[in-house]
Amino acid sequence: MLEVDERIILLLDEVKTKTGKTLSLIPRSNLPVRAALIEDSSRKKIAIQYSPEKCEIGDLAYELLRAIQLNDKEWLNATFFINKLNNEDIKWIKTLVYTPWILSELKRRGLTSKGILLDNFEVNFEYLKEEDPPYCHIEDSNLRLIFSAVNYAFYLLTKNEVDYGEKGVTYEELYKTKDPKALKLGEETAKIIEENKCLTPLEVKNALKEIFLLMKNYLKNI
C-alpha cells in the first residue's frame, strides 16, 4: 500500500524542477505492474501510473528517478549522440545504464525498490523457462539477443540489492544452457557499467559508447 511521506514529496518537487514539466500521479487498480512512467507525446508533461494495491514508496521513487534521467537537460545532453536514434534496443540499453544511479539515489534517500525489481525478475524468469531461446517471440534475432543480454546484465547489476534466492541460481543455469551468447554479452555489458560506475552523466556517456561498440562487434561476429 502506497503511503506518501516527505521523501516522496521532496522527490516530486525535484522532478518538476529538474525537468521543467508538469507531473501527474495516476492510480490504476488494474495496472499489471507496481508503477509505470508514461510520457505525453508532446513531451510537455510526465505521468506515472501506479497500482494503489501493490505500489510501495520505493517503487514510485524508482519511476520518479527514471523520469529525471529521461528528461533532465544534463542527462539528455550527455546522451545526445544516441537520443536521435529511436530504436527499441537503444531504449533498453539506456534504461540499463541508468540503473546504478537510480539504485544509488534510492539508497541515499533511505528507500528501496525491491518490489519492482523482483516483479521484473519474475517476468523474465517465466520467459526464460517457457521459451527456447528466451524471448524468441522477438522476430529479429539480433534484437532478441540484445534484449536477452540486457536482461541478464540487469540481473547481475541488481543481484546485490535483491535476494533472488534459489530462483537466481536457476536463472543463471538456464541462461548457461538456453542462451549462452546472451549470457556472455550480458556479463561483458554489466562489467562495462560497473567499471564506469555510471553515477554521473559523463560516466553514463562513456559506458554507452563502450557498450554500443561491444554490441556492434559482437553482432558482427556471430
- 143-187: pLDDT as tens digits: 999 999 999 999 999 999 999 999 999 999 999 999 999 999 999
Sign of CA dihedral 15, 84, 42, 31: negative
**Residue 40: per-residue pLDDT:** 65
Asked if residue 35 is part of any domain, the answer here is yes
pLDDT of residue 222: 65
The residues, ordered by sequence, that sit 6+ positions from 167 with a Cβ below 8 Å of its Cβ are: 121, 125
> In this structure, is residue 90 part of a structural domain?
yes
Same domain, 149 and 200: yes
Residue 195 within any structural domain of the chain: yes
* 59 and 99 assigned to the same domain: no
Same domain, 59 and 93: no
Range name among 88-92, 201-205, 211-215 with the lowest pLDDT average: 88-92
DSSP string, 37-105: EEE-TTSSEEEEEE-TTT--HHHHHHHHHHHHHHH-HHHHHHTHHHHT---HHHHHHHHHHTHHHHHHH
Is residue 188 included in any domain, yes or no? yes
Query: What are 184-205's pLDDT values in tens digits?
Result: 999 999 999 999 999 999 999 9
The reply to whether 100 and 203 lie within a common domain is yes
pLDDT at residue 85 tops 60: no
For residues 104 and 60, state if they share a domain.
Answer: no
Confidence of residue 221 (pLDDT cuts 50, 70, 90): confident
Judge if 43 and 95 occupy the same domain.
no
Asked whether the predicted pLDDT for residue 41 surpasses 80, the reply is no
**pLDDT of amino acid 18:** 94
* Residue 218, number of CB atoms within 10 A of its CB: 18
Distance CA(100)–CA(154), nearest Å, equals: 10
Q: Note whether 109 and 206 are same-domain residues.
A: yes
Final residue belonging to a domain, choices 71, 99, 116? 71
> Any idea which residue has 520505493 for its cell?
58
The per-residue pLDDT of the chain, averaged, comes to 92
Task: Report residue 83's pLDDT band, with 50, 70 and 90 as the boundaries.
Answer: low
Range of the domain at 159: 85-220
Count up the domains in the chain and report the number: 2
The pLDDT value recorded for residue 44 is 80
Block residue for cell numbers 533472488 = 164
Q: What is the pLDDT of residues 110-141, one digit of tens each?
A: 999 999 999 999 999 999 999 999 999 999 99
Dist CA 151 CA 160 (whole Å): 15
